[in-house]
Amino acid sequence: MPKCLYIETVGCQMNLLDSEMVVAALRQHGYTVTDNVEQADTILFNTCSVRQHAEDKIYSALGRLRRLKQQHPEKVIGVLGCMAQKDQALIFERAPFVDLVVGPGQLHRIAELLESVAAGAPRPRMAVSLDRRDGPLAEIRRSHESFDPLRDPTMRPTPFQAFLRIQIGCDKFCSYCVVPMTRGPEQGRPPEQILEEARLLADQGCLEITLLGQTVNSYKYRSGEQMTRLADLLERLHEIDGIRRLKFVTNFPKDMSRELLEAVRSLPKCSPYLHVPLQSGSNAVLHRMKRGHTVEEYRDMMAQIREMIPGAAVSSDFIVGFCGETDRDFDQTMAIVQECRFKNSFIFKYSERPGTKAAERLVDDVPYETKQARNNRLLAIQNAISEEDNRAFIGRIVEVLVEGPSKVTMKRADTGSEVQLMGRTHCDRIVVFQGSPQLAGQILPVRVRDVTAHTLLGER
């Protein structure tokens, strides 16, 4: 009997990739995939712990399955990912009908774990990695090793784009962040493995690869005397025929190097796009966040980027309302956003996470309403800047990798066959224009006729 899988994924690109791997593994074991939860006999949630809100949503989604599970006790319900690693047995306390809990470092065992549940292994079953304090580093590292060799082209963002993990875990321990706990110690993958996977992706028709790492520019891999860093990796990936664009996220400001910027400048396939979260414009806040850099250092890094890669798009993340953030601190964040002119910024309200240094030592003292108001104000100036800078593109021709129909695929009555297509420029700006769906997967010149804060509106 073929098994039928429903999988829901929240969170970052790492999670999207993890889900792709899980689906690939389960397809090999005869599973089909459905987007109808009622039809599925295996229901998996790949979860995120970065903010409380993401966890609340999963617990309510689980709550909604209680009835289904009562009516069909044979259905298997599993919680995967960061919340599985963080909450572990707590998940069974809050949702006792869950059968399986699997941390992000144990996902390579998913098929075997589901089989054992089906074969009547005592429920609930749990597979999580070691805690940071649970043993020797080598053992902890091994317990977080995830798997990547299986690729499932149908689970990719589009057939022409893929994520490729080059690093797992994080060793930065920013005081607000749960990731070093849920994803374990930082480990670079061997370059040969990465290159092999990239070649496989290119053979499958992939044009754009986005390298993933929590602090991707800290990537290093030592083999004997030989040390490979991200710049070396980019040079080698650049030689693969078929690959047209290379991106990498997320960068850690302190580890941005001249060599890396030189690689981006000199390798035409490297997108002139850098995501480098700043988090706050106040040195006092950055210090409490344990980010390891000052506003001045970030500013120097920006100047170096602007000088070495003119026209590069830089984007950032910000947390508003972190412990002790005053109006003055927040004004400094507003000022630096105005100064840096990011392509876009992802803005988050601080959410206290159990187990982090901030939760243990600092008071989450900014009222929710203040966080919300600061979020709105920062977003408003970022949007104004994004729109202003996008205006410079009006009348210009940009090279767009066409991803496919946009979310609003408005069929045009006069031609019938044309839809609104969506794609991205080399510098990661979103472009929409009318065209045939068959253009998906091509890199095409598009003329920009108008813009909004988030989109270039083009025509062919």
Binding-site ranges for ligand 5AD (CB under 6 A): 50-51, 176-177, 277, 279, 317, 319, 348, 350-351, 353
173 binds, among ligand SF4, ligand 5AD, none (CB under 5 to 8 A by kind): ligand SF4
Between 83 and 319, name the residue whose CB sits nearer to ligand 5AD.
319
Between 25 and 323, name the residue whose CB sits nearer to ligand 5AD.
323
By the rule CB under 6 A, 425 interacts with ligand SF4: no
Q: Which tokens hold the place of 70?
A: 């009562």
Residue 287's CB: how many other CB atoms inside 10 A? 14
By the rule CB under 6 A, 132 interacts with ligand SF4: no
State the DSSP string of 271-287: -SEEE---B-S-HHHHH
350 binds, among ligand SF4, ligand 5AD, none (CB under 5 to 8 A by kind): ligand 5AD
Distance of CA 286 to the CA centre of its chain: 22
Q: For the CB of residue 319, give the shortest distance to ligand SF4 in the complex, in Å.
A: 9
Q: For the CB of residue 172, give the shortest distance to ligand SF4 in the complex, in Å.
A: 4
Q: For the CB of residue 153, give the shortest distance to ligand 5AD in the complex, in Å.
A: 27
Question: Which uninterrupted H or E stretch holds 163?
Answer: strand 161-165
* Binding track over 202-231 against ligand SF4, x by CB under 6 A: ------------xx----------------
Cα separation of 83 and 126, whole Å? 12
108 binds, among ligand 5AD, ligand SF4, none (CB under 5 to 8 A by kind): none
Q: For the CB of residue 194, give the shortest distance to ligand SF4 in the complex, in Å.
A: 20
- DSSP single-letter state for residue 71: H
Residue with the two structure tokens 């991200």: 230
Between 92 and 248, name the residue whose CB sits nearer to ligand SF4.
248
Q: For the CB of residue 132, give the shortest distance to ligand SF4 in the complex, in Å.
A: 12
Q: For the CB of residue 363, give the shortest distance to ligand SF4 in the complex, in Å.
A: 20
Cα separation of 39 and 56, whole Å? 25
How distant, in Å, are the alpha carbons of 66, 138, 244, 392 from that of 397?
Answer: 53, 51, 18, 11
By the rule CB under 6 A, 309 interacts with ligand SF4: no
Among 7, 76, 84, 177, binds ligand SF4 (CB under 6 A): 177
51 binds, among ligand SF4, ligand 5AD, none (CB under 5 to 8 A by kind): ligand 5AD
Q: For the CB of residue 349, give the shortest distance to ligand 5AD in the complex, in Å.
A: 6
By the rule CB under 6 A, 173 interacts with ligand SF4: yes
Between 156 and 353, name the residue whose CB sits nearer to ligand 5AD.
353
Q: Can you list the pairs that 422-427 forms with residues at least 24 positions away whose Cβ atoms lie under 8 Å? A: 424/400, 425/398, 425/399, 425/400, 425/456, 426/245, 426/271, 426/272, 426/273, 426/398, 426/399, 427/271, 427/272, 427/273, 427/311, 427/312, 427/313, 427/343
Between 51 and 183, name the residue whose CB sits nearer to ligand 5AD.
51
Q: What is the dihedral of CA 444, 195, 248, 302, to 10 degrees?
A: -110
**In a 3-state reduction of DSSP, which class is residue 301?**
helix
Of 44, 32, 31, 29, nearest to 112 by C-alpha is 29
Between 214 and 390, name the residue whose CB sits nearer to ligand SF4.
214
Write the CB contacts of 226 (distance below 8 Å, at least 6 apart in sequence): none
Between 172 and 460, name the residue whose CB sits nearer to ligand SF4.
172
Cα separation of 275 and 191, whole Å? 22
Q: For the CB of residue 168, give the shortest distance to ligand 5AD in the complex, in Å.
A: 16
Q: For the CB of residue 290, give the shortest distance to ligand SF4 in the complex, in Å.
A: 8
Q: To 5 degrees, how large is the angle CA 447–CA 450–CA 451?
A: 110
Q: How many chain residues interact with ligand SF4 (CB under 6 A)?
A: 10
**In a 3-state reduction of DSSP, which class is residue 375?**
helix
404 contacts 422 by C-beta, under 8 angstroms = yes
Write the CB contacts of 138 (distance below 8 Å, at least 6 apart in sequence): none
Q: For the CB of residue 74, give the shortest distance to ligand SF4 in the complex, in Å.
A: 38
Among the candidate windows 94-102, 129-137, 171-179, 431-439, which touches ligand SF4 by CB under 6 A?
171-179
Among the candidate windows 126-134, 159-167, 170-178, 382-390, which touches ligand SF4 by CB under 6 A?
170-178
- DSSP single-letter state for residue 270: B
Residues 233 to 252: which contact ligand SF4 by CB under 6 A? 252
**Chain residues in the site for ligand SF4 (CB under 6 A):** 170, 172-174, 177, 179-180, 214-215, 252
